[in-house]
């Protein structure tokens, strides 16, 4: 199978590099270890012949391009973006990837010593890949297929095009970005250096899926200043910040939480609460697909804070509410050829294109509103952000084929 060995070798090699990001970090990039993979990729890009390779040693962004081989003025420029960091939800240190050939449909023993088993009862998506070859972990770390499977596909596509100059294509821009898992949103992508007016991120699970519809997203932090006195003399004096934090959370609609919503339903999600009598802080996510409903949710949170301020004093209640990203469909729907071409490429590779509202955001959510329309193609990994993550090798192979078909389609435009 063409591309099989290349994508397998690349993912295994990339997975062994610890590139976890850190959502609590106040620095950018959030972890220094991401540079190890960025440097490896820059070296590899030069080795296979990618042009204009540049590694920004301050931001860890890595850039390169494949020049057009078409007559001047023909074909569109296309860009591909994948991220180098892995989620901090599970360890990314000392990853031990291994290959299970010809998966037979049963439970998979990941770690005999620790009796770690991935069962089809808990992970029924395994049954979609009977007969295929899976890259797995030993059950103590994540794999990092999110998004190193995407990187492997992009690099393999690039290597093929550079070895086959007879394949017509326009200019292809490539960027590898840090901190996607820590809400980096490709904030420091250099548009001029990237050099493409449109792009696709290659991320997400399930082969053949694409994303052109994401959440609108805000983040809120409610800070409460309390007043602590001895409990024996507290009546009429104490103002318990912890109690006020709980009161705020009880104002939120009980059923509008992630665990009770699906599809295009929005939600409020408390991500953290740190509280004592003197001080409290509640961190909150606000999500919706519909702009009007999203704005209403933001207004509701402001009204909750206002009510608490009226009750406990405006000097004791502070709300910091900020927009994080927007629904990329607002922008991508205005360039319909991007999805038309993507669906065509998926179909020509023997798959049925599938999409559904993505209950999250992508780097493309930010990039689309900053000037680069950027839908997403699935990278084909499964069970991301956890110890039972795996990647079917055949899915990566198919993604290389899809990327090549996409480049071919843009060359004819």
Q: Where are the domains of the chain?
A: 4-213+328-411, 216-325
Q: Are 75 and 411 in contact (CB under 8 A)?
A: yes
Which neighbouring-strand residues pair with 136? 98
**Over the chain, what is the mean pLDDT?**
97
Please report the pLDDT score of residue 85 as a whole number: 96
Q: Give the Å distances, CA to CA, from 287 to 27, 218, 222, 365.
A: 26, 7, 17, 13
Q: Which CATH code is given to the segment(s) 216-325?
A: 3.30.70.360
CA distance 210 to 220: 29
Residues with active-site annotation: 85, 180
| CATH superfamily, with its number, for domain 4-213+328-411 | Zn peptidases (3.40.630.10)
pLDDT in tens, 35-88: 999 999 999 999 999 999 999 999 999 999 999 999 998 999 999 999 999 999
CA distance 60 to 39: 8
CA distance 138 to 265: 36
Which neighbouring-strand residues pair with 100? 134
Please report the pLDDT score of residue 230 as a whole number: 96
In terms of phi and psi (left: phi > 0; alpha: psi -120 to 50; beta: otherwise), the region of 242 is alpha
Closest CA to 384 of 177, 203, 131: 203
pLDDT in tens, 326-378: 999 999 999 999 999 999 999 999 999 999 999 988 999 999 999 999 999 99
Place of tokens 């590099």: 17
Q: Residue 1 above 80 pLDDT? A: no
CA distance 279 to 172: 52
Residue 232: count other Cβ atoms within 10 Å of its Cβ: 6
Place of tokens 């991508």: 332
Q: Residue 275 above 80 pLDDT? A: yes
The phi, psi pair for 229, rounded to 5°, reads -140, 170
Q: Are 302 and 284 in contact (CB under 8 A)?
A: no
Task: Provide the whole-model pTM.
Answer: 0.91
């Amino acid at each position: 199978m063409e591309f099989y060995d290349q994508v397998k070798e690349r993912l295994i090699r990339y997975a062994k590099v610890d590139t976890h990001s850190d959502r609590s970090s106040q620095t950018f990039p959030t972890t220094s270890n991401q540079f190890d993979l960025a440097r490896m990729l820059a070296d590899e890009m030069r080795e296979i012949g990618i042009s204009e390779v540049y590694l920004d040693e301050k931001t860890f962004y890595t850039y390169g391009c494949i020049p057009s081989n078409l007559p001047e003025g023909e074909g569109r420029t296309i860009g591909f973006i994948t991220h180098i960091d892995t989620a901090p939800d599970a360890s990314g240190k000392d990853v031990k990837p291994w290959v299970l050939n010809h998966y037979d449909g049963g439970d998979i023993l990941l770690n005999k010593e620790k009796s770690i088993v991935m069962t089809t009862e808990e992970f029924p998506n395994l049954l979609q890949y009977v007969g295929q070859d899976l890259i797995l972990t030993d059950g103590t770390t994540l794999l990092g297929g999110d998004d190193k499977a995407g990187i492997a596909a992009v690099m393999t596509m690039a290597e093929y095009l550079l070895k086959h100059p007879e394949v017509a294509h326009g200019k292809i821009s490539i960027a590898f970005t840090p901190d996607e898992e820590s809400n980096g949103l490709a904030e420091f992508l250099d548009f001029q250096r990237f050099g493409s007016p449109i792009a696709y991120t290659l991320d997400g699970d399930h082969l053949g899926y694409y994303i052109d519809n994401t959440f609108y997203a805000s983040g809120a932090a409610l800070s409460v200043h309390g007043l602590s006195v001895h409990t024996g003399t507290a009546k009429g004096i104490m103002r318990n910040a912890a109690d006020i934090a709980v009161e705020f959370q009880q104002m939120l609609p009980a059923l509008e939480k992630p665990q009770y919503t699906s599809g295009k339903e929005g939600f409020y999600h408390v991500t953290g609460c740190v509280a004592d009598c003197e001080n409290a802080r509640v961190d909150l996510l606000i999500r919706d697909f519909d702009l009007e409903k999203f704005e209403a949710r933001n207004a509701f949170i402001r009204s909750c804070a206002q009510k608490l301020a009226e009750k406990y004093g405006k000097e004791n209640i502070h709300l910091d509410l900020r927009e994080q990203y927007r629904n990329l469909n607002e922008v991508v729907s205005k360039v319909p050829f991007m999805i038309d071409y993507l669906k065509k490429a998926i179909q020509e590779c023997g798959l049925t294109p599938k999409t559904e509202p993505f209950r999250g955001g992508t780097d493309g959510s930010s990039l689309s509103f900053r000037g680069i329309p950027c839908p997403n193609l699935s990278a084909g990994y499964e069970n991301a952000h956890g110890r039972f993550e795996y990647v079917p090798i055949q899915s990566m192979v198919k993604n290389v084929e899809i990327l090549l078909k996409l480049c071919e389609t843009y060359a004819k435009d």
